[in-house]
Structure 1
Amino acid sequence: MATLAVEDVLRVNGCRRFAAALAAASPFASLADALLAARRIWLNEVDVNGWLEAFAAHPAIGTTSPSVSKWSKEEQSAAISTATDSTAQELAEWNARYRDKFGFVFMICASGRTAPEVLAELKRRYANRPIVELEGAAQEELKITELRLAKLFSSEAAAPTTSAEGHISQPDKAAGSSNRTRPPITTHVLDTALGSPASGIEVHLEMWKAVSSPPSFENKDFNGWTMLGSSITNNDGRSGQLMDIVDNVAPGFYRISFNTSKYAPSGFFPYVSIIFEIKKSQTTEHFHVPLLHSPFSFTTYRGS
């Protein structure tokens, strides 16, 4: 069981009402339970003022000030590392235009996104009506909240604290677990038509949030997935880190999706999604889920 204090949640989301409600809803038996509660509270119990309070806790995208939090720096690392001087200047200008129009900072879950991608999304959303953009920004804040909750759970797992201190309390590690050198879920993509790695493919890793209602052929709730991380495959066809390095991965259903439309625009499959289950007895194992792709076929397997 994991008990959250208000101070813990404020690191995740700057809305005090949200932090108080999520802390009050704990302890949580799993990360998935915490994510489910967070989504319910954010969308149903927090008002517009609470949303704006959370937005205000974020730096403008592309900011490199020393005051920016560690998590914000990690989330914006891909954007900052791919920004040229001209792109950084344009981002700053469009950030200012956006704030002048809408009254709050541009919200985007930037994990794994390059500076050109962020800038293009900023320009696209600038044309929105204020009410549409407010709702879109709230959805982006929820994605960030979910990512940070996953980081909070994993970062505290290796250093349990007492409940009297108000921090997360985690059970002892399962017997046989060991320190990993890579995340428990990884992937790579091979282009079988060319016989070479497939670079530049966007990859998303998600987890099913509704533990009591597992995904199935009959369950058409496509909103049941929670983003854990995203990346772009490199020249070797390997994705960057899609989740934190933890000894024990949470059991449940996962979905890894590949945006193959940009890589092979004339191909038959615009994207590929692979759903797999990690059982309670497998939480210390490694799961490598590669994609073998060609314009008109794909396959996968569990690798090592």
Structure 2
Amino acid sequence: MELGFEEKDFLACCGSTKFAKEMALASPFASLEEAVRAARDIWFNKVDVNAWLQAFSAHPPIGDSPPASHHHRTSPTSAQWSKGEQSTAIATATGSTLQELSEWNAQYREKFGFVFLICASGRTSDEILAELKNRYPNRPIIEFEIAAQEQMKITELRLAKLFSSRAKDTIDQHPAVVAKKVEDRVSIIGGHLTVTSEATAVKTSQIPTRTRPPITTHVLDVSRGCPAAGIEVRLETWKGTQPRPSFGETDIGGWIFQGSSTTDNDGRSGQLTSIVNVVDPGIYRISFNTGKYNPAGFFPYVSIVFEIRESQGKEHFHVPLLLSPFSFSTYRGS
């Protein structure tokens, strides 16, 4: 059964009017997964920077309630959801923590020009404050990308709530099917945001809980200020004679091919590995054919080696490349 929604419904999920209009045009959706796929495509590929900033501005600072001046752009539903998402943070905060959060929020806004954004669901005030301090030294272009990823996490969580609410309104039509589908879909989106009980973990482990591969990347050409399209990307994992490659390792055959793709017009790679619930621990390497992209540059290719530990199997690893002809940098995104 397809569920249709209006623009105001999607505006409660994400404060960008452009995003809400595009989602309303794409509606109705046969499932929550279909809506999430559309949302990610619209957010990362179809809206502009102004839409991102508009969505950021709809969020109150962590630890604060939406001020009266924001009521014209923050719907009652959005404000209610925001309060619920911050409930753990508020419940675990002391007066001194709230004061420190307020001070760091102000410093962050002064440096970056927008509110500190994080998917706060299930996070304590101390965890949020630590993440704020950790991200504060970032360069603006990196922090802007991280904030956009956090906004998408929030949007996905709220889409799950939206579908759950709509299903309750129509449950008399399909009581068993609709209730079961929505329950499962909410678990899929919310599973990576909150700590679940052991029983819930056993239940959800039998169905795919990811909506994208566990390892992703994108390339940004910082010399041109735009995504780098057409770069060949290759993912490998270490299976050499030694448990892990060391500096100067000569066991060339130890790297085993996992997948490859080419960055699209938004600088994002295609699928490099299968969509699995738990990614295998080990040493991974993403290589970029930068010499073909920029023959006059300094780097014939760039390889980024990173480790996924056994305890991190359910996490997502976004490893971007920020590239110019004579320098490059990377970071772990989300």
Q: Which TM-score applies when normalising by structure 1?
A: 0.59
Once residues 7 and 46 of structure 1 are traced to their aligned partners in structure 2, the CA distance between those partners, rounded to angstroms, is: 17
Q: Which residue of 1 aligns with 2:310?
A: 269
Displacement of 1:70: 1.1
The structure-2 alpha-carbon separation of the partners of 1:256 and 1:156, relative to structure 1 and needing over 3 Å to count, comes to farther
The alpha-carbon deviation at position 32 of structure 1 amounts to 0.2
Q: Could you tell me how far apart the structure 1 residues matched to 2:274 and 2:5 are?
A: 23
Q: Is the 8 A contact 1:256 1:273 kept in 2?
A: yes
Give 1:63's aligned residue. 64
Q: Tell me which of the two structures has the higher relative contact order, counting C-alpha pairs closer than 8 angstroms and 6 or more residues apart.
A: 1
CA distance change for structure 1 residues 171 and 59 in 2, over 3 Å: closer, same or farther?
farther
Query: Residue 222 of structure 1: CA displacement?
Result: 7.3
Residue 176 to residue 58, structure 1, CA distance change in 2 (3 Å):
closer
Contact 2:119 2:153 in 1 (8 A): yes
Work out which of the two has the higher radius of gyration on C-alpha atoms and give 1 or 2: 2
Which runs of 5 or more residues in structure 2 are unaligned?
69-77, 200-206, 213-257, 261-270, 280-308, 316-334
Q: 2:129 aligns with which of 89, 103, 119?
A: 119
Letter in 2 for 1:115: S
Equivalent-residue separation in structure 2 for 1:117 and 1:223 (angstroms) = 31
**Cα offset for 1:4?**
1.7
Partner of 1:136: 146
1:188 partnered with 2:229: no
Encode CA deviations 1:151-206: one digit per residue, 9 max, x unaligned.
00001111139xxxxxxxx962237969x9xx8785329xxxxxxxxxxxxxxx98
> TM-score, with normalisation over the residues of structure 2?
0.54
1:38 aligns with 2:48: no
Cα 1:13–1:224 change in 2 (3 A) is farther
Give the 3 Å change call, closer, same or farther, for CA 42–171 of structure 1 in structure 2.
Answer: farther
Partner-residue secondary structure (3-state), 2:310: coil
Kindly tell me: are residues 171 and 135 of structure 1, through their superposed partners in 2, closer, same or farther at Cα, counting changes over 3 Å? Answer: farther
Note closer, same or farther for the CA distance 1:187–1:108 as it changes in structure 2 (3 Å cut). same
CA spacing shift, 1:95–1:135, aligned 2, 3 Å = same
| Alignment RMSD | 3.6
- 8 Å contact 1:209–1:224 — kept in the other structure? no
Say whether the 8 Å CA contact 1:32–1:208 is kept in structure 2.
no
Measured after TM superposition, the shift of residue 256 of structure 1 is 7.9
- CA distance 1:46–1:187, shift in 2 (3 Å): same
Contact 2:167 2:178 in 1 (8 A): no
| Alpha-carbon distance in structure 1 between the residues aligned to 2:38 and 2:101 | 34
Give the superposition deviation at 1:66. 8.0
Partner of 1:14, secondary structure, is: coil
Is 2:118–2:151's contact at 8 Å kept on the other side of the alignment?
yes
- Residue 149 (structure 1) aligned to one of 156, 159, 165: 159
- Out of 152, 156, 168, the position equivalent to 1:158 is 168
Question: Which residue does the alignment assign to 2:104?
Answer: 94
Structure 1 CA distance for aligned equivalents of residues 4 and 35 of structure 2: 10
- After superposition, the Cα gap between the structure-2 partners of 1:49 and 1:66, relative to the gap in structure 1 and judged at 3 Å, is closer
Name the count of aligned residue pairs: 206
Could you list the runs of 5+ residues in structure 1 that have no partner in the other structure? Answer: 162-169, 190-204, 211-217, 226-252, 258-267, 275-304
Query: What residue is the counterpart of 1:194 in the other structure?
Result: none
The alpha carbon displacement at 1:27 in A equals 1.0
Give aligned-pair identity as a percent.
51
In 1, Cα distance between equivalents of 2:167 and 2:67: 27
Cα distance, 1:209 vs structure 2: 2.9
Equivalent pair of 1:107/1:140 in contact (CA under 8 Å): yes
SS in 2 for 1:72: helix
Letter in 2 for 1:76: Q
Which structure shows the higher helix fraction?
2
Instruction: Pick closer, same or farther for the CA change 1:171–1:20 going to 2, 3 Å.
Output: farther
Which residue in the other structure is 1:9 paired with? 10
Aligned-partner residue type, residue 6 of structure 1: E
Deviation of 1:65 (Å): 5.7
CA distance in 1, matches of 2:173, 2:47: 31
The equivalent of 1:26 in structure 2 is: 27
| Residue pair 2:59, 2:66 contacting (<8 A) in 1 also | no
Distance of 2:311 and 2:82 partners within structure 1: 31
